[in-house]
Structure 1
Amino acid sequence: MAAPATGASHRSRLRLIVIQTLVFSLLATLGARLYYLQVISGERYQGKAASQSVREIVVQPQRGLIVDAMGRPLVTNRLTWVVSLDRTLLGKMSVADRAELLDRTGDAIGMAVPAIEAKLLLCGDDGAVAGKCWNGSPYQPVPIAQDVKEGAALRILEQPEDFPGVVVDRQTVRQYPAPYGINAAHLLGYLSPITKDELDSAEDSGDSSVNGASVVGRAGVEKEYDEWLRGQPGYDQVAVDSKGRVREDVSGLEAQPGDTLVTSIDAKVQSVVEEQLAAMIAKQRATRDPVTKRNFEADSGAAVVMEAKTGRIVAMASQPTYDPSVWVGGITPKQLKRLYSKAAGTPLLARSFQGQFAPGSTWKPFMTVGALPHGYSPSTVLGCPSAVQIGNRAFHNHESSAHGSITFARALEVSCNTFFYQVGMHFWQKFGSDPDDDDAKDPLVEQAERFGFGSRTGVDLPGEASGRVADRKWKRSYYESMKDYYCGIAKKPQDGKTSDFVYKFSREFCVEGWKYRLPDAANFAIGQGDTIVTPLQLARGYGALANGGTLWEPRVGKAIVSPDGKVIREIEPKKERRLKVPASVLRYVDEALQGVATRGTMNWKLQGFPLDQVQIRAKTGSAEVYGKQSTGWVASYTKDYVVVMMMSQGGTGSGSTGDGIRAIWEALYGVDGEGVDPGKAAIPGVTPPARLPTFGDDGSILPPARVKGGE
C-alpha cells in the first residue's frame, strides 16, 4: 500500500521543479531585459524620455525697417505681448479641465472662448476658418492673441499653476511712425498671416524663413521686398513638466532680423503731395459743376512725383486711402469689407498705379511726337474750329471755342481738340480707311506704344495695371469677348431698365462692333474713347519728354541694408528703352509745353509763379466719361522732376488739380512768393541725394552726406 503514495509524491516534486524552473526562467528573462533597458540602452531611452518633455518654440524674427531716402523711418516695429496655447497639453486634459483653462485664459486676455477655439483648429480640420486657423506644427504653441495688455500677460506669467500650457512672450509687430503725418499706405503695403498653400510651397522648396506663425507682405514694398524684410526665424527649446509649465531653457537658436529697405520716397514731399491731393478733392466736392448743375463728385484721385532723369519715385499718393495699421494684429471682417467697398471708394485700390483712366488732352503731346516725323512739321498749320463734322456727328472743342488757323505748338497751348481730330483722321484715311483691316499702319498708335502705354511700367510694386491702347486689334478682341452680351441686349425689346444710349449702342455693336472707324481714330488722337492709362504711366511718358527720350522702369526701392548697416544691394534705376524720336521733335514739344505754362491752359494757375527760375512744362486734360463728370489731369515737368495729378469726376484739369500742382512745385524748389529760396526746398539741395543714409553701429540712421557743390 506504500508504493502508490511514493509515486504521487514523486510527481508532486517533479511539478514543483518545473514550476520553479519556469519562474526562475521568467525572472532571468525579466532581469536580462531590465539590464538591457537600464544599462545597455539606458542613455538612449533616457534621452527619449527627456525629449518628450521638451517643447520647441519658434522665435519670430524682427522684420526689417523701411526708411525714406533721408533715412526717416516709414515702417518700424514695436514690442507686443503674445499669448499662445500648447495644443499637445490641451489634448491630454479632461474635457472639464480643458474648458476651465480656456475660460480662465479668455477672461484674462479679454477673448471669447469660441474665438480661442477657432485659433486652435489646424487648417484643414473640419470647421477651420481660413485666416483664423493654425498653419504651423501641431506640436508648437499656437498664438491666440497679440497686443495683450501687460497686466494680463504678467498675471499669467505670475500664476503658471492656474494657466498650464499657456505661453506668454514678447514679439514685434509693425508700427507706422508717419513722419510729417504721411500715410503712404499704397506704397508701403501691409502684412497678413501666411496661408496653408504658401506654407506648403515654402516647405516643398526648402524655404525655412517662414513658418505657421509668419506674416508675409501682401501689397506695396512689403510684398515686393518680402524676402529681404522677413528675416530668419529662430527657436527656443524649453523643458516642461507634465502640466506644461516651463522648468528650464534647454537650447536655442537666435532669430536673424530682416534687412532694411531704403526707398527713394521723401517723406516731406510725400506729405505735401498727400495734403494737396486731399485738399483739391475736398475743394472740388464743394464746387458746383456747370455742366451737371451739381457739385463735383471728386470720388478719387492720384498724384505722382518722379525723378525725370532716373525714374525713381519721390512721392506717390492715392485717394481714398486707409490706415495701414488696421492690419496689425488681425483685421476685422467689418474693416476688410470697407477696404473693398465701392460705397467707400474701394480704398485698397492704389489709383496711382492700379487705377486706369482716359488721359484726355494730356495725350496730345505724344500724338504730336507721332505726327511730326510722318508728314507733318513744326510749320504745319491747321484750323481750330469750334467743331468738326465726322459722319452725322459734330465733334466739339472744349466749351466750343475756336482759335483760327494754328500750329501744333499753339494747339497744345490752347488744347484744341478739333486740330488733333484732323490729325487722327488724316492717318486713318491715309493708312487704314478700311475699317476691317486690323493690321493697318497708324503712327499715332505706334508712338503711344513706344512711350510704354498699354504695358506695365515695371515698377517695383505688385498689382500694377497695364492700361490700354485702344487700337484696331484691341477693338476686334473686345468685340469677340463682348458680342454675346451686347447682342443679347439688342435681340430683345428695349425695357425700362435699359437706357436709349445702351440699347442703341448694343444694336450697333452687335452688327459691326469690330470695325475701327473714322470717329475712333479722331477720339484716339485726343485721349478719348477706350484708351486708358495709369497716372504712373503718364508720369513715365512725360519723364521721357523731360529727359530727352529715355523711358525708365520706375523704382521705389533704392537699397537693401543689413541689420548691421552694410549695403547688401543697391537697386539701380533700370532703363527700359531709348526712344527713337528726333531730338528736334522733342525740343519742339518741350517748348510748346512750356508755352502751356506761360500763356496756355495752365497759366491762370501759375500767375506770379517764378517761371523764369523754375521752368515748368505742363499739359492739362479733361476726359469725358459716359455717365460721369469729367476726369481732370495736369501733367507737368522740369529738368529735375515730373509731377502728375488727376481727379476722377473733378472737372477740368487745371480747375481741379492746378492749385495742387503749383503747391507741389513750390515745395520742391522752395518758391517763396515770386522768388526762389533753395534753402526752403522740401529736399535739402533741391534734388534727391544720390547717396544712401548713414547707418550707425548703435542703430541710428543719419541723412545722406552731400558732396561739395551738390550731386
Structure 2
Amino acid sequence: MSTTTRSRLRLVVVQALVFSLFATLFVRLYYLQVIGGESYQAQAADQSVRDIVVQPQRGLIVDDQGRPLVANRTSWVISVDRTLLGKLEERQRTELVRRVSVVVDAEPEDVEARLVTCGDLGSVRDVCWNGSPYQPVPVATDVPKSVALRVLEQPEDYPGVLAEQQSVRSYPRPFGVNLAHVLGYLSPVTEDEFDLAAERDDRSLNGASVVGRAGVEKQYDEWLRGLPGYRRVAVDSMGRVLGDDSVVESTPGDTLVTSIDAKVQSVVERQLAERIKVQRATVDPVTGRRYEADSGAAVVLDARTGRVVAMASQPTYDPDVWTGGISESELARLYSEEAGTPLLSRATQGQFAPGSTWKPFMTAGALTNGYTTDTALACSSGFQVGNRVFKNYESGAYGSIGFAKALEVSCNTFFYRIGYDFWQRFGSDPADLGAKDPLVQEAKDFGFGSRTGIDLPGEAPGRIADRRWKQAYYESQKDYYCGIADKPQTDGTSDFVYRFSREFCLEGNLYRAGDAVNFSIGQGDTIVTPLQLARAYGALANGGTLWAPTVAKALVSPDGTVLRRLAPRKVAEVDVPQKYLDYIDGALQNVSRVGTMAWKLGGFPLDDVTVRAKTGSAEVYGKQSTGWVASYTEDYVVVMMISQGGTGSGSTGDGIRAIWEALYGIEGETVRPARAAIPGTVSPARLPQFLDDGSIMPPAVGE
C-alpha cells in the first residue's frame, strides 16, 4: 500500500472517531436537556432554595382566674450556618469558631460539638444537632442583646453567623409564686425522640424543639408545643440568603387553664417556707439539737372535686434555670442530696410515715368491722406486746375512752389494742399471707398504697406494709442480710446491724403482732405521699368519694376556642356508712376545738368556718419526728407536713391556720368573704374569659 493511501485511511479513521465523539456528546446533551431536563432543573432549584424551620410559640399556662403562670418572651439566639462554614478553608473555619466561642462565652470545642449532626462520627448525645442539615444550628440561646448586636453589626467578622430572636419560656410569678414542681420545665428534644417523631410523621417536633420534662409542661406537652412553620429562602452559591421564597406560618400552642389559684398558692408557699425556717431555729427537746426540717410539702384540694388549688414543696428551685439551657453545676445541684434534691416534689413523690393522721381511717376500719361508737378501751401509758412495751405519746394516759376521745387526744394505745385484737382474731399465724386484716383493707379502700392518678408525671405510689409486702421485701433482701449473719462479726459491723441481720435472716418475713400495732397508728414501714393523705381526707369531707386529683381544667386554642374540658374524675366510693363518716367528722371537729390542734386555733371563728383537723408526729428511726396536720371543711382540704420538723401542730399548725384564714378571708375572729383569696370563697366552676383581643379575664361573675 502506498504512503498516500495509508495517509488517507488514517484521516478517515480520525474523522470517524471525531464524528462518534460528537455524536455521543450530542446524545448526552439531548438526554440532559430534553429527556432529563425537568429533573435536573428541580435539583438545581433545590440547591438554591432552603427550608428553615420557624419555631411555634408555646402555649400559655394560666391559673383559675386567667393569671399567667407560664408565658413567653423573646430571646436572642446565635446560630451558625454550617453550609457556609464548610466552604471556608480550615484555618478560616477554626478562626470563625474561635470568634463565636468568645462572643458567646463558651469553649471552642463546645461550639464544635453543637455543630456535629447527631449520629455522625464524634457526635455527643443531647448536645449534637438533630435538625435539618440545611438549617443554621443554634450554638447559644438567651444571649445578651449586646452580643447579638455585635454579631449583627460586624457581619464581615462573623460570616455565616446569625443573631435572631426566638420565643422562650418566662415566669410572670403572680403574687410571687414559684410552683416549680407543678409547672415543670423544658429541655431540647433528644435524638431518640426526634427519630421516633420522624417515624410517626409527627411534624410538631423538629431538631430545634424543646420538650416538657416534668409537671404539666410534660403532661400536656403535645397540646402546648404547637406546630412549627417553614420559611423557604433563596441562597447564593456561598449559602448567603437572598430573600424569602415562601412562608408557612407556625401555629402557636394551646393555652392550659389550671385549677391552681395563684393567690392561694402564694400563701401556701410562704407559710411552708416560713414554718421550715422557724423549726430550723427551734430546739428538739428529744435530741437536744435544732430540728433539721429538711423538707416539707403542703396541698390544698377542692374537697368536692379533687381539683388541686395549691401545692408546694420544699426544697424547691427556680424554673428559670432551664431557660436557654442549664449549666452542669446547676443540674448537679438540682439532683444533689446535700442540697435536698430540689427536683423531687415532696407533695407527689415524697413518701413519709403518716403518724396519727392515719387514725381516722383506722377508726373507719374498726367501726365497719365489729366495733361500735359506744366501744370503750383503755388509753393507758403503754401497751405490751410480747417483751416490748409500745408507749403513748409522752406516756400520757386518759383512762377508758371511746373512738372520738381517742382521736381528740390522739391516743396511741387505744389504737394499739384494736390492731392487736384484729391480729389475734384473724392473723395470729405470722406466716399466713392470706390472713384477713380489716385495717389494711380499709387503708387500701381509701386509696393508700396506689397512685392517686393526678395529671402530673412521676407520682409515687406510697406503700402499705402488709403481709405480702413484708414477704416480698424479705425475699429481695434475705441474701444480703443472711450474708452478714453467716459471717463472724467484724469491727466494721455494729452490734445493732449484726443482731438485726441475724433476726431478719431467720424470720424477716413473719408479720408479727408488733407490725399490726405499728400499722394501726401509721408507723412502721407504711408510707404515704402528702397528696394521697389529702385525697383521703377529701373523702372524709365529701361523704366518701375518692377523686383523681387534677391540675388541668381545660385546653383553649390561641383564638379562644375551648378545645377540651378536663372534668374531675371519680375513682371510687369508700364503703363506709354515712353515720360513721359523720361520727369521725364530729371527732375531728373536737380536735380543732379542744384536742391536739386547739392551741393553734385559739380565737379562730370555728362556729362560722368549721375546720376539722388531725395532727400527727411520725417517728423515723435515726431521724427526728415528721410533723403533719391534715384538715378540711366542706369546701377544701389543707395538708401540711415537715420532715424532721417535730410535732404536727407544733411544726405546721400556724401555717395551717394562716392558709384557712386566706381561703375564707378571716381577720382575727371575723370572717370577711370579700377578702377571701378566691372571689366567692370557693373555686370557680367556670373558665376564665378569653377575649377577641387576646386578653384573658377572670371567670364571669355569678358562678
Measured in 1, the distance between the counterparts of 2:146 and 2:31 equals 52
Measured in 2, the distance between the counterparts of 1:432 and 1:466 equals 26
Measured in 1, the distance between the counterparts of 2:227 and 2:549 equals 29
Measured in 2, the distance between the counterparts of 1:412 and 1:10 equals 130
Q: What amino acid is the match of 1:168? A: A
Which residue of structure 1 aligns with residue 693 of structure 2? 698
Tell me, yes or no, if structure 1 residue 259 matches structure 2 residue 257: no
- Post-superposition shift, 1:57? 1.3
How many residue pairs match? The answer is 703
SS at match of 1:92: coil
Q: 2:275·2:651 contact (CA, 8 Å) conserved in 1?
A: yes
Q: What amino acid is the match of 2:510? A: K
Which residue of structure 1 aligns with residue 622 of structure 2? 627
Which residue of structure 2 aligns with residue 403 of structure 1? 398
Which residue of structure 1 aligns with residue 504 of structure 2? 509
- Post-superposition shift, 1:592? 0.4
Q: What amino acid is the match of 2:58? A: R
Which residue of structure 2 aligns with residue 413 of structure 1? 408
Cα distance, 1:37–1:161 mapped onto 2, change above 3 Å: farther
Q: Deviations over 1:70-101 (max 9, x none)?
A: 00000011111212222233333321121122
Tell me, yes or no, if structure 1 residue 299 matches structure 2 residue 288: no
Any residues of structure 2 matched to 1:244-643 within 5 Å, and which? 244-643=239-638
Q: Deviations over 1:547-600 (max 9, x none)?
A: 000000000011000011100000000000111111111000000000100000
Q: Deviations over 1:639-685 (max 9, x none)?
A: 00000000000000000000000000000000011110001110011
Which residue of structure 1 aligns with residue 190 of structure 2? 195
- Post-superposition shift, 1:134? 1.5
Measured in 1, the distance between the counterparts of 2:491 and 2:39 equals 84
Structure 1 residue ranges without an equivalent (≥5): none
Q: What amino acid is the match of 2:529? A: T
Tell me, yes or no, if structure 1 residue 62 matches structure 2 residue 57: yes
Which residue of structure 1 aligns with residue 205 of structure 2? 210
- Post-superposition shift, 1:155? 3.7
Q: Deviations over 1:136-159 (max 9, x none)?
A: 233332111111232332343344
Between stretches 282-291 and 90-99, larger displacement belongs to 90-99
- Post-superposition shift, 1:478? 0.7
Q: What amino acid is the match of 2:348? A: F
SS at match of 1:470: coil
Between stretches 163-172 and 378-387, larger displacement belongs to 163-172
SS at match of 1:615: coil
Measured in 2, the distance between the counterparts of 1:42 and 1:603 equals 91
Between stretches 142-151 and 619-628, larger displacement belongs to 142-151
Q: 2:87·2:238 contact (CA, 8 Å) conserved in 1?
A: no
Q: Deviations over 1:333-382 (max 9, x none)?
A: 11111111111011010000100000000000000000002111011100
Q: What amino acid is the match of 1:598? A: R
Q: Deviations over 1:235-267 (max 9, x none)?
A: 112122222211111122111111010000000
Any residues of structure 2 matched to 1:165-180 within 5 Å, and which? 165-180=160-175
Q: What amino acid is the match of 1:393? A: R
Between stretches 305-314 and 245-254, larger displacement belongs to 245-254
Measured in 2, the distance between the counterparts of 1:285 and 1:34 equals 87
Tell me, yes or no, if structure 1 residue 93 matches structure 2 residue 106: no
Q: Deviations over 1:441-487 (max 9, x none)?
A: 01101100000000000000000000001111111111111111111
Q: Of 661, 684, 705, which aligns to 2:679?
A: 684
Q: 1:82·1:146 contact (CA, 8 Å) conserved in 2?
A: yes
- Post-superposition shift, 1:48? 1.6
SS at match of 2:92: helix
Q: Deviations over 1:94-131 (max 9, x none)?
A: 21121122123233333331110111122334443322
- Post-superposition shift, 1:233? 1.2
Cα distance, 1:496–1:662 mapped onto 2, change above 3 Å: farther
Measured in 1, the distance between the counterparts of 2:54 and 2:180 equals 28
SS at match of 1:294: coil
Between stretches 144-153 and 264-273, larger displacement belongs to 144-153
Q: Deviations over 1:470-526 (max 9, x none)?
A: 111111111111111111222233344433333222211111011111111100000
Structure 2 residue ranges without an equivalent (≥5): none
Measured in 2, the distance between the counterparts of 1:502 and 1:657 equals 34
Q: 1:165·1:243 contact (CA, 8 Å) conserved in 2?
A: no
Q: What amino acid is the match of 2:544? A: G
Between stretches 533-542 and 13-22, larger displacement belongs to 13-22
SS at match of 1:143: strand
Q: What amino acid is the match of 1:153? A: A
- Post-superposition shift, 1:42? 4.1
Q: 1:669·1:680 contact (CA, 8 Å) conserved in 2?
A: yes
Q: What amino acid is the match of 2:233? A: V
Between stretches 271-280 and 101-110, larger displacement belongs to 101-110
Measured in 1, the distance between the counterparts of 2:587 and 2:357 equals 13
Any residues of structure 2 matched to 1:131-146 within 5 Å, and which? 131-146=126-141
SS at match of 1:180: helix
Q: What amino acid is the match of 1:403? A: Y
Q: 1:59·1:235 contact (CA, 8 Å) conserved in 2?
A: yes
Q: Of 645, 651, 658, which aligns to 1:656?
A: 651
Q: What amino acid is the match of 2:132? A: S
Measured in 1, the distance between the counterparts of 2:123 and 2:330 equals 21
Q: 2:293·2:644 contact (CA, 8 Å) conserved in 1?
A: yes
Measured in 1, the distance between the counterparts of 2:146 and 2:599 equals 61
Measured in 1, the distance between the counterparts of 2:489 and 2:21 equals 98
- Post-superposition shift, 1:296? 0.4
Between stretches 536-545 and 55-64, larger displacement belongs to 55-64
Coordinate RMSD, CA, aligned: 1.5
Measured in 2, the distance between the counterparts of 1:246 and 1:109 equals 23
Measured in 2, the distance between the counterparts of 1:109 and 1:333 equals 17
Q: 2:356·2:615 contact (CA, 8 Å) conserved in 1?
A: yes
Measured in 2, the distance between the counterparts of 1:18 and 1:487 equals 99
Measured in 2, the distance between the counterparts of 1:520 and 1:425 equals 9
Measured in 1, the distance between the counterparts of 2:585 and 2:493 equals 46
- Post-superposition shift, 1:39? 5.3
Measured in 2, the distance between the counterparts of 1:675 and 1:498 equals 61
Tell me, yes or no, if structure 1 residue 71 matches structure 2 residue 69: no
Measured in 1, the distance between the counterparts of 2:156 and 2:239 equals 10
Between stretches 115-124 and 322-331, larger displacement belongs to 115-124
Measured in 2, the distance between the counterparts of 1:249 and 1:396 equals 80
SS at match of 2:242: strand
Q: 1:305·1:313 contact (CA, 8 Å) conserved in 2?
A: yes
Q: Of 78, 81, 84, which aligns to 2:76?
A: 81
Q: What amino acid is the match of 1:616? A: V
Q: 1:164·1:243 contact (CA, 8 Å) conserved in 2?
A: no
TM-score (norm: length of structure 2): 0.98
